[in-house]
């Protein structure tokens, strides 16, 4: 099935009833973009509680990597659930956790042996990376980047610099965190150019942070997303990542690569850092790793992950059912879904770039594989951010049966399941075209 099928007005009566109940009992801190109430899904299609079928280009925020309820993943989950649901890997052993660690060691771009710490989410993976870097270096300071998103627990949110609302009201945050400039080639910082922005950002670390704020020999880690997720699907230049690796090596700083959103095949390679040829010291992985089950991992060089028993642990981390789902997911990624993400992602990117010739609202189309960002602007010359228009386009797409999410201040992300077909990609582009036309024709 390539196209949506809408049977009721949106939201339908059952959806309205559930949303009404939700308002009374669920935290208001959740950011619901539009009134979609899930009933079931298959592949890249989802059905709401009123029988309306949508094309899903959000994938549970880039989580459902193998599509909704892939038969192989469901079987792996069912088989494991019938054996046992939990037996904390913190205190005991079970083969699914060991096998998953072996599988991860075979796919991460770190040579010479790796070890894996298991948690339940991306933010837990990042917290483990923070603690490990501090432990092995004996240093306390950390550097992250403007626009970066690393989670919402206290350590992770201290690194996060995506939106002020994510930090507002929670201070004081974790001390010892400094933020550097991220090389956005569409909006080059400090008067730089598209070609020079990566070098300017590295120079800022060396000439500003290391000169005026923090000595490099007191920095435990630099944490970077090779493609910023919540920051707007901004792709770091290869040269920037390579110089960052050189900088961290020079000063004995741990390079932590956050692949929570960009990893597990989404970029058209297993991990987005592979495009640069850079080898990190530690990686944070989550979201798409278990096709929808909660799992986060911190993967590190074996020589780094030397902390003793009791130093860090998790009761539920590496749950056997989640591990079984992740093993099945990795198998599916290897057998074709990473390649599909690259091929169909290129097809979708080309279709979206073609729309830029028709719609002045589109300022930039960027990304890799099926991690594509479209930045909307009111004026291509001034690059004034089309924030309100972005939200209206997302809503207009929903009303036509396409699920999208915003990213950053004024970008729209296309992060569908990696099973997306060329026909579904064409449907997504067509509906996006219609949504852009509606918003462009309607005065603010």
Rounded to an integer, what distance in angstroms lies between the CA atom of residue 403 and that of residue 54?
7
pLDDT tens readout for residues 161-170: 988 888 988 8
What was the pLDDT predicted at 357? 94
Q: Which two tokens stand for residue 109?
A: 């771009």
Going by C-beta distance under 8 Å and a sequence separation of 6 or more, which residues neighbour residue 211?
A: none
Ranges of beta strands (E only) in 286-346 are 296-301
Rounded to an integer, what distance in angstroms lies between the CA atom of residue 146 and that of residue 190?
13
Query: Using CA atoms in the order 39, 43, 45, 49, what is the torsion angle rounded to 10 degrees?
Result: -10
Domains and CATH numbers, the chain: 13-70+336-441 (3.90.1150.10), 71-333 (3.40.640.10)
pLDDT tens readout for residues 54-105: 999 999 999 999 999 999 999 999 999 999 999 998 999 999 999 999 999 9
What was the pLDDT predicted at 97? 98
Rounded to an integer, what distance in angstroms lies between the CA atom of residue 339 and that of residue 324?
23
State how beta strands 219-224 and 141-145 pair: parallel
Rounded to an integer, what distance in angstroms lies between the CA atom of residue 289 and that of residue 73?
11
Q: Which two tokens stand for residue 428?
A: 């997504």
Write down the residue that tokens 């950053």 correspond to: 408
What was the pLDDT predicted at 166? 86
Going by C-beta distance under 8 Å and a sequence separation of 6 or more, which residues neighbour residue 396?
A: 434, 435, 438, 439
Sequential pLDDT tens for the chain (444 residues)? 789 999 999 999 999 999 999 999 999 999 998 999 999 999 999 999 999 999 999 999 999 999 999 999 999 999 999 999 999 989 999 999 999 999 999 999 999 999 999 999 999 999 999 999 999 999 999 999 999 999 999 999 999 998 888 898 888 999 999 999 999 999 999 999 999 999 999 999 999 999 999 999 999 999 999 999 999 999 999 999 999 999 999 999 999 999 999 999 999 999 999 999 999 999 999 999 999 999 999 999 999 999 999 999 999 999 999 999 999 999 999 999 999 999 999 999 999 999 999 999 999 999 999 999 999 999 999 999 999 999 999 999 999 999 999 999 999 999 999 999 999 999 999 999 999 999 998 877
Query: Using CA atoms in the order 268, 105, 143, 183, what is the torsion angle rounded to 10 degrees?
Result: -20
What was the pLDDT predicted at 2? 83
DSSP 369-404: TTEEEEEEEEETTTTEE-HHHHHHHHHHHHHTTEE-
What was the pLDDT predicted at 171? 87
Closest alpha carbon to 118 in 96, 142, 85 = 96
State the helix-helix crossing angle for 320-332 and 71-83, rounded to 10 degrees: 150
Q: Please write down the long-range contacts of 93-102, taking CB distance under 8 Å and 24 or more positions apart.
A: 94/320, 96/320, 96/323, 96/324, 96/327, 97/318, 97/320, 97/323, 99/323, 99/327, 100/318, 100/323, 100/326, 100/327, 100/330
């Amino acid at each position: 099935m390539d196209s949506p099928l809408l049977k009721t007005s949106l939201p339908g009566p059952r959806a309205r009833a559930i949303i009404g109940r939700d308002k009374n009992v669920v935290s208001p801190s959740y950011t619901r973009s539009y009134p979609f109430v899930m009933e079931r899904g298959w592949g890249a299609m989802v059905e709401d509680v009123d029988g309306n079928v949508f094309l899903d280009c959000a994938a549970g925020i880039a989580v459902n990597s193998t599509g909704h309820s892939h038969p192989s993943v469901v079987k792996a989950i069912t088989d494991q659930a019938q054996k046992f649901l939990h037996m904390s890997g913190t205190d005991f052993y079970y083969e699914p956790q060991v096998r998953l660690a072996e599988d991860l060691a075979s796919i991460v771009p770190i040579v010479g042996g790796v070890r894996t710490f298991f948690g339940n989410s991306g933010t837990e993976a990042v917290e483990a990376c923070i603690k490990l870097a501090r432990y092995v270096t004996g240093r306390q300071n950390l550097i992250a980047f403007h626009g970066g998103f690393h989670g919402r627990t206290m350590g992770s949110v201290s690194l996060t610099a995506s939106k002020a609302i994510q930090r507002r009201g929670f201070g004081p945050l974790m001390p010892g965190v400094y933020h550097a400039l991220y090389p956005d080639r569409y909006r080059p910082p400090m008067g730089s150019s598209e070609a020079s922005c990566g070098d300017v950002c590295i120079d800022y670390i060396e000439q500003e942070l290391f000169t005026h704020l923090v000595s490099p020999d007191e920095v435990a880690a630099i944490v970077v997303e090779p493609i910023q997720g919540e920051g707007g699907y901004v792709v770091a230049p290869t040269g920037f990542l390579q110089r960052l690796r050189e900088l961290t090596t020079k000063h004995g700083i741990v390079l932590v690569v956050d692949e929570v959103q960009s990893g597990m095949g989404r970029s058209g390679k297993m991990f987005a850092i592979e495009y640069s040829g850079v080898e990190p010291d530690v990686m944070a992985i989550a979201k798409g790793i278990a096709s929808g089950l909660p799992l986060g991992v911190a993967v590190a060089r074996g020589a780094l992950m030397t902390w003793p028993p009791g130093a860090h642990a998790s009761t539920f981390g590496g749950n056997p059912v989640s591990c079984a789902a992740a093993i099945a997911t990795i198998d599916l990624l290897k057998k074709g879904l990473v390649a599909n993400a690259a091929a169909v992602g290129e097809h979708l990117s080309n279709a979206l770039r073609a729309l830029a010739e028709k719609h002045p609202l589109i300022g930039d189309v960027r990304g890799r594989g099926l991690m594509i960002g479209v930045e909307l602007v009111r004026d291509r010359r001034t690059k004034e951010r089309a924030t309100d228009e972005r939200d209206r386009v997302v809503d207009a797409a929903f009303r036509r049966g396409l699920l999208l999410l915003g990213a950053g201040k004024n970008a729209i992300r296309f992060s569908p399941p990696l099973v997306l077909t060329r026909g579904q990609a064409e449907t997504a582009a067509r509906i996006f075209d219609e949504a852009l036309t509606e918003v462009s024709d309607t005065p603010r």
